[in-house]
Structure 1
């Protein structure tokens, strides 16, 4: 549905480092970058982009959910995010209240955003 989503962050360097490391397991990389006030575009090849830019305004909290191809990517996201200083908001595991194969992990990122990576497929 989306081509890209762009939102402001209070610490561009910290957010850039967080999103690059935490989302690397699902293939996210830099596809474009300008000065911090313009920002950075992050995306897996051929997919929708996440764009971040430096702002002086306090960003509203968001819930961002990213799709993983498998449960190992969810686990790797969670480990990488915690290594960057993110706070745990739900360890990797099944969330059967959503559906039987909803396997996800949640962390709180640098600006207080709830960042999720989810796999909807059954375990291989």
Structure 2
């Protein structure tokens, strides 16, 4: 069982400017921040953005992405719009991904540090 997932950032303020609105849309809120990490969740921490403990620059992992559950297709579309409006870059516009499943509707973005995230739903509407 996964307890939480963390991605690296080189700038907590910039990361929060991106993640606060994007995750809020998905029902995930900021629970704590200490200048080195921002921790998000729903009651308990599920996702963190943090500066690397070893002091070296954060970098995104090739082949790694984190998918967040969206309520419906409209939420996936809004996730994509908000992400781009807050410094993210497009990695896959909202749409059906039949190569995964006939009902898989997702959108992919990269945060300002290059971490790839997704919103996905299996809802038909």
With normalisation by structure 1, the TM-score equals 0.86
Cα distance between partner residues in 2 of 1:6 and 1:118 = 19
Cα distance between partner residues in 1 of 2:115 and 2:8 = 11
Cα distance between partner residues in 2 of 1:7 and 1:87 = 16
Cα distance between partner residues in 2 of 1:100 and 1:66 = 19
2:38 corresponds in structure 1 to 40
1:53 corresponds in structure 2 to 50
Dislocated runs of 4+, deviation >6 Å? none
1:110 corresponds in structure 2 to 112
Among 81, 98, 102, the alignment partner of 1:96 is 98
Structure 1 runs not aligned, ≥5 long? none
Matched, 1:66 2:53: no
State the Cα RMSD in Å.
1.7
Aligned residues between the structures:
120
Cα distance between partner residues in 2 of 1:41 and 1:119 = 24
With normalisation by structure 2, the TM-score equals 0.85
Structure 2 runs not aligned, ≥5 long? none
